[in-house]
Amino acid sequence: MASALGRLARLSALRNGRSSPLAPSTLPGRCVTPLRTVVCTSSGAILPKPKKTPFGLIRIALVVVPFLYVGTQISKSFAALLEEHDIFVPEDDDDDD
**What is the pLDDT at residue 67?**
97
**What is the pLDDT at residue 61?**
93
**What is the pLDDT at residue 20?**
46
* AA letter at 55: F
Q: Find, among 11, 10, 14, the residue nearest to 22 by Cα.
A: 10
The C-alpha angle with vertex 77 and arms to 76 and 83, in degrees rounded to 5, equals 90
pTM for the predicted model, two decimal places: 0.41
Tens-binned pLDDT, residue by residue, of the chain (97 aa): 566 666 666 655 555 544 444 555 555 555 655 556 778 888 889 988 878 778 788 889 999 999 999 999 999 999 999 989 988 877 777 666 5
The whole-angstrom separation of Cα 37 and Cα 52 is 17
